[in-house]
Amino acid sequence: MSQHVSVRPAALWAFGIAVSLVLTACGGGGEAPGRGPAGAGAPVPVTTTVVQPRQWNDSVTALGTVNARESITVTAKVSEIVQRVHFESGDEVTAGSALVTLSGNQQQATLQAAEAAAIDADSQYRRGAELVESQLIARASVDTLRAERDAARATVAEMRANIGDRTVRAPFAGVLGIRQVSPGALVTPGTPIATLDDIRSVYVDFPVPETLLARVAPGQTVIGQVAARRGTRFEGTVQTIDARIDPNTRAVMVRAGFENAERLLRPGMLVEVRLQQAAREALMLPEIAVIQVGRDTFVFRVKDDDTVEQVPVTVGVREQGLVEVVEGLEAGTRIVVDGTGKLRPGMTITEGSVQEAKTPPADEAGAAGAAQ
């Protein structure tokens, strides 16, 4: 027991010596270089830049869908058998071109009967008109004959219109889609025969948030790109802005028109549109220079003595790795771009690089070697 009590003080004394050596090698337990009180330690290598205004084009980006200037699904007005089809899938047709002729034998026979009745009614009226001048019949009888003649003529016109409905024509010039009927098929009102689209020019409808509505106006240039034509830019103009804002999405629909002489844009295509804005001057910073902590946004400003301080800023648009500073900075201010993660207000910096900052200073490396 007495032997154990005499050894313990010696062990504590050896442990104290070891702790003292470790603290000496680590710089006495003080703050690490660059992390101590303001201005203490070696300068921290960072990358800086001087803020200068630059020309900037705001843009609104959205997704829209291509629509033909005129677009319909061709259908028949009556129920009848297809007698002849006058087109093939993909044909370009002019306005008034016959597309499908339906069977109309019964209507033709009815028309002939109506025409014969109209001729007879006209003859009866003419004869009555001659007799009334000779005062052989009453004028009221002539009026009746006139009414019968007019009714017969109306019947003929109706029958001709009915037969005209047996020929389906293109209401405007355009490109036909895939043919949906064949000779002998029975069609009814609403049966699709083919699609017809006028794509010499197209339009694209796309939503714009109401917060950006002030930036949109008719006549502005719109640049569109589609996945099917990578690298091809389609240029159009804003034609109209919808009168209403969708209360669910808080967005307004904007319609842009595009010339499509080469038929590269087709109805239904998804288009990425970019609405170009007028150029303006803005303070644009690299996005990595702006630090966001909770609701606070700030940058590190470099003072004349190469120390740094935090400056709260208000940011605007973010695009292409840049961010606009609306408030908090002035042109000519020097700020830290890269290496902000190891800075604290009051630290001293030196122009360097992130790689240099990760390499420990020579005196720190030597102390670490001595500790080993």
Positive or negative, the Cα torsion across 90, 96, 98, 104?
A: positive
Q: What are phi and psi of 344, to 5 degrees?
A: -135, 150
In this predicted structure, what is the pLDDT of residue 240? 94
Output 321-327 pairs: Cβ under 8 A, ≥24 positions apart: 321/286, 321/287, 322/284, 322/285, 322/286, 322/287, 323/284, 323/285, 323/286, 323/287, 323/290, 324/56, 324/282, 324/283, 324/284, 324/285, 325/51, 325/283, 325/284, 325/285, 325/290, 325/299
Residue type, position 231, single letter: G
Cα dihedral 26, 28, 29, 30, rounded to 10, equals: -110
Nearest to 278 by CA among 58, 83, 96: 58
In this predicted structure, what is the pLDDT of residue 10? 44
In this predicted structure, what is the pLDDT of residue 164? 64
In this predicted structure, what is the pLDDT of residue 318? 80
Burial of 292 (0-12, 13-18, 19+ CB in 10 A): exposed
In this predicted structure, what is the pLDDT of residue 361? 44
Positive or negative, the Cα torsion across 23, 28, 32, 37?
A: positive
**H or E, element range at 151:** helix 139-164
**Please, what are the averages of pLDDT over each run of 10 residues along the chain (372 residues)?**
42 45 42 44 86 81 92 89 91 92 71 76 79 73 82 79 78 93 91 94 92 85 90 92 92 94 92 82 88 90 91 84 87 89 88 49 41 38
In this predicted structure, what is the pLDDT of residue 322? 87
In this predicted structure, what is the pLDDT of residue 33? 42
In this predicted structure, what is the pLDDT of residue 171? 92
In this predicted structure, what is the pLDDT of residue 273? 92
pTM of the model as a whole:
0.55
- Cα separation of 46 and 304, whole Å? 16
